[in-house]
Every structure is written in structure tokens, then in C-alpha cells.
């Protein structure tokens, strides 16, 4: 940081990778023009094998291209909301995994839990209240531990849901997006936190292409061929589909 502090304000190009948004904010405070570039947009400019020097040269070349598209640096508030989304997504996946494990293990003893996370959580609560199936003692001990885990995880999920709904009520942009039919608090919050300033897109088509709603273009030799839609490769992809 001392190096950049002593440097005259200039153009700085960085790959949009881990911690890049933090460094973009810090360097911008020093007066530098910081531009984040998607890694796959930098790759075509790498002339030789991968190394720090070659990567730096490729980034330097890419950042000066007039047609290059950049990633808008996220604010700390945006990243905090995305932090909430990622943590919630982790809990959702872990809760589903635990529910499926509980359901499959009990099925080996002829105990069938209907499909759905809610029914698994309800069954786990019953186990903790004393409604235990006729299983060997060792299996009952394991069932009790898994039930404790599932119920506790469900409570944590509810906490994340509560925080997300609270945030959606405090952000006017989220409230505005929620007026669109089919858009709930999770989707609206994810859009606002991920996009930030929507003015970076010229129109709605650019936004649709950015999140991967447009089909992949496979046209060649004068023949137009469109592939399937590309799902957005981030943790927020599920809320858009």
C-alpha cells in the first residue's frame, strides 16, 4: 500500500478475483482509477506461460483496450449483503444434505419420511420430544444427534431469513424490485447487492446477458445457431432460476 500511496494517481488494472473489490476501494481512496477485469477477459492477452510477470503484462494490455468491459467495484455494504446470501446458501445446502441423510438412514429400517425439508425437520423435532422409532439403541443415539443438528440448523436458517427480510424492508431499491410479480425478498436483495449501480447497463438486454439469461451464441459460417441459456456461475444463481 505504501507504494501506491507514493504513486501519482494513475490507471490501475486488476483481475476481478478474491479480495479485488476491497483493494479497488482502498486504491480508489488514494485517487487512482481502478478497473477490475474478469479473468476470462484477461486470458486472451497472455502471450506465454502463466507467471506473475506475464499476467501483469496481459492485464496491462487488457485494461487499455477501448472495448474492454469491466467489473464495477462493490461497496462494503454490497459485500456485507452478499456475505449474508452466501451464508444462507451454505445453511440451505447443509440442511438439505442432513435431511436427505436422515431420510435415507431411516429408510434402511423401514421408517419412511415424506419428501421435503419441512417434513424432515418436523420428524426431527418429534424425535427430540420423545417420539422415537423402534430402532437399536445405538441407532437411536445417532438419530438423536442428527435430529439435534437438523433442528439447530433449521433455526439458523430462520435467523438468516429474518435478517434478509429485515434488509429488504430497509432498502428502497429492494422494495421497488419486490413490486415485480414473482420477485421475492431473496431475489431482490441478491440483485441489488450484486449489481449495485444498474446504470452500468445501457438497457435491460445487457443486464440479461450479464446474468446469463441469454442463449450462448454458437453461430459460424453464416449459420446462426443459439445454444442453451447460461446459468450465472455465482452463489446467487439459484435465486434467478
The answer to the question of residue 232 being in a domain is yes
pTM of the prediction?
A: 0.78
140 and 109 housed in the same domain: yes
Note whether residue 191 is domain-resident.
no
Q: What is the pLDDT of residues 204-224, one digit of tens each?
A: 877 777 777 777 777 777 777
Structural domain total, the chain: 3
154 and 209 in a single domain? The answer is no
Asked whether residue 41 falls in the same domain as residue 121, the answer is no
Q: pLDDT tens digit string along 10-39?
A: 999 999 988 999 999 999 999 999 999 988
Mean pLDDT across 184-196: 86
68 belongs to a structural domain: no
Residue 193 lies in a domain: no
Q: Does some domain include residue 114? A: yes
Write the CB contacts of 228 (distance below 8 Å, at least 6 apart in sequence).
215, 216
Domain around 216 = 201-240
Question: pLDDT value at position 59?
Answer: 92
Does 214 lie in the same domain as 162? no
Does 172 map to a domain? yes
* Predicted confidence (pLDDT) per residue in 160-184, tens digit: 999 988 888 888 888 988 898 988 8
Amino acid at each position: 500500500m505504501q507504494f501506491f500511496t507514493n504513486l501519482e494517481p494513475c490507471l490501475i488494472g486488476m483481475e476481478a478475483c478474491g479480495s479485488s473489490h476491497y483493494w479497488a476501494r482502498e486504491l480508489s481512496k488514494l485517487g487512482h482509477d481502478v478497473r477490475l477485469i474478469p479473468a476470462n477477459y484477461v486470458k486472451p492477452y497472455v502471450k506465454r506461460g502463466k507467471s506473475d510477470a506475464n499476467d501483469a503484462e496481459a492485464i496491462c494490455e487488457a485494461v487499455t483496450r477501448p472495448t474492454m468491459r469491466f467489473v464495477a467495484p462493490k461497496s462494503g455494504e454490497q459485500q456485507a449483503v452478499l456475505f449474508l446470501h452466501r451464508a444462507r446458501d451454505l445453511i440451505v445446502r447443509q440442511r438439505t444434505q442432513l435431511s436427505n441423510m436422515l431420510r435415507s438412514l431411516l429408510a434402511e429400517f423401514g421408517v419412511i419420511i415424506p419428501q421435503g425439508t419441512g417434513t424432515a425437520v418436523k420428524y426431527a423435532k418429534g424425535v427430540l420430544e420423545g417420539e422415537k422409532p423402534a430402532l437399536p439403541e445405538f441407532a437411536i443415539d445417532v438419530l438423536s444427534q442428527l435430529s439435534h443438528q437438523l433442528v439447530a440448523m433449521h433455526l439458523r436458517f430462520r435467523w438468516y431469513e429474518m435478517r434478509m427480510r429485515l434488509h429488504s424492508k430497509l432498502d428502497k431499491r429492494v422494495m421497488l424490485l419486490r413490486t415485480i410479480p414473482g420477485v421475492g425478498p431473496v431475489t431482490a436483495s441478491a440483485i441489488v447487492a450484486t449489481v449495485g449501480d444498474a446504470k452500468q447497463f445501457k438497457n435491460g438486454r445487457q443486464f440479461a446477458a450479464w446474468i446469463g439469461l441469454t442463449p450462448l451464441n454458437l453461430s459460424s459460417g453464416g449459420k446462426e445457431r443459439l445454444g442453451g441459456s447460461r446459468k450465472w456461475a455465482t452463489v446467487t444463481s439459484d435465486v434467478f432460476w
